[in-house]
Chain A
Amino acid sequence: MEVEMPNELAEKIFMISGQNVYACYQCGKCSAGCPFTDYMDLLPNVVIHKIQLRDERVLEAKTPWICAACFTCSTRCPRNLDISKIMEALRQITLRKGIDRIKLKKLEKIEELPTIALVAASRKLTG
């Protein structure tokens, strides 16, 4: 699908996630339902707004890394936007540069963690 994006950041997000951030009309339902907003610096809907406005500081926000990909936002969005895919795209932009979010070798008490947790963390937080 050919979609022309007004800004490069939105275009990059579209290429990776297939989601058009301009579909968002800032209803805030995603942020209202997100279980992790207490630990985020920017609310999910604010992150989308910043992409719309081409504010590249959004790439430095904590929010995409606090997102646990629980799909609550995607299930509730009235515009059928998959916000979890947008968060993944933001993570991928950094990870694909070779910058990992966690250092696997520096984790504490790793022998106590079940495999499922480690594999999930490797997938989401390392490139």
Chain B
Amino acid sequence: MRMSQAKTTVKQPKMKMVTIYVMGKKYEVPEGLTILKALEYVGYRLIRGVGCRAGFCGACATVYRFKDDYKLYTGLACQTTVKDGMYLVMIPFVPAKKPVYDIEKLKPDASTVISIFPELTRCVACNTCTKSCPQEIQVMDAVQEILRGNLEKAAHMVFDCIACGICSMRCPAEIVHYHVFQLVRRLYGKYIAKKSKHLEDKLKALEEGAFKEELDKLVTAGPSVWKRLYESREIEK
């Protein structure tokens, strides 16, 4: 059997490689990859510290440095591209057990939040949290707004928080910002934000059986009807 000797070889452009160090071990990876892709390129199989891969879930917190630069940089592995000389490690988990509280029994004020998270009073305004945030949230300012009772303002400031935990790892006062912020958003949503009257009315109508007939008809209609209804639904294409 003769092996075909194909003469047509497609010339690959030479890939530019950069050097990165993962937990101290040196690797060459193609330029332009995200840290996450680079880790998988060199053979890591990630089962923790990876999630949506789209900058939304906060699972892939990473810290890194460069030679001759004392600064500690932080970012999400799925959103940060590799740079030559990157010396990195992933932080797949930030330890912080969420305190248990009954949202029904809480008041939407500073004292409430401080009584659940008294370490908030240890904040020295060092701003390390803000510098670490991959979502560009003004973390220190949000903590300060909470200390003086402006929960509504704080809740809006921290809307983009994805609970990656980098701020909490670096905070010298040992505040766990994302747990505090979750409480503040919940308090805002429950007690301060305007109630949605039309939603309440609709729920009441549902409970009183306003749509019972229609729903019963739909439930018993069968797969061919459901398929037809689904395919002809109103949707932006």
Contacts and interface: CB of A to CB of B under 8 A. Distances in A.
A106 B104 CA distance: 22
B105 to A, nearest CB: 12
Contact of B118 (A112, A118, A123): A118
A110 interface: yes
B118 A105 contact: yes
Nearest to A102: B118
A104 B115 contact: no
Nearest to A126: B122
Interface in A57-113: 104-105, 107, 110-113
Nearest to A118: B121
B127 interface: no
Interface in B65-92: none
Most chain A CB neighbours (cut-off 10 Å) among B111, B114, B121: B121
Contact of A119 (B112, B115, B121): B121
A107 B118 contact: yes
Contacts of A105: 118
B22 interface: no
A115 B118 contact: no
A122 interface: yes
Nearest to B173: A122
A113 B118 CA distance: 11
A112 B121 contact: no
B110 interface: yes
B148 interface: yes
Interface footprint category on B: 10 to 19
Contacts of A112: 111
Contacts of A119: 121
B147 interface: yes
A104 B111 CA distance: 14
Contacts of B112: 111
B114 A111 contact: yes
A111 B118 CA distance: 10
Contacts of A122: 118-119, 121-122
Contacts of B122: 104, 122-123, 126
Nearest to A107: B118
Nearest to B106: A111
Contacts of A115: 110, 114, 121, 147-148
Nearest to B122: A122
A110 B147 contact: no
Contacts of B118: 104-105, 107, 110, 118, 122
A104 B147 CA distance: 16
Nearest to A114: B111
A112 B112 CA distance: 9
A111 B115 contact: yes
Contacts of A104: 118-119, 121-122
A104 B123 CA distance: 13
A122 B147 CA distance: 14
Interface of A: 104-105, 107, 110-113, 115, 118-119, 121-123, 126
18 contacts: A104-B118, A104-B121, A107-B118, A110-B111, A110-B118, A111-B111, A111-B112, A111-B115, A112-B111, A113-B111, A115-B148, A118-B114, A119-B121, A121-B121, A122-B118, A122-B121, A122-B122, A123-B122
10 closest A-B pairs by beta carbon, nearest first, are A104-B118, A111-B115, A111-B111, A118-B121, A122-B121, A110-B115, A119-B121, A122-B122, A115-B147, A104-B119
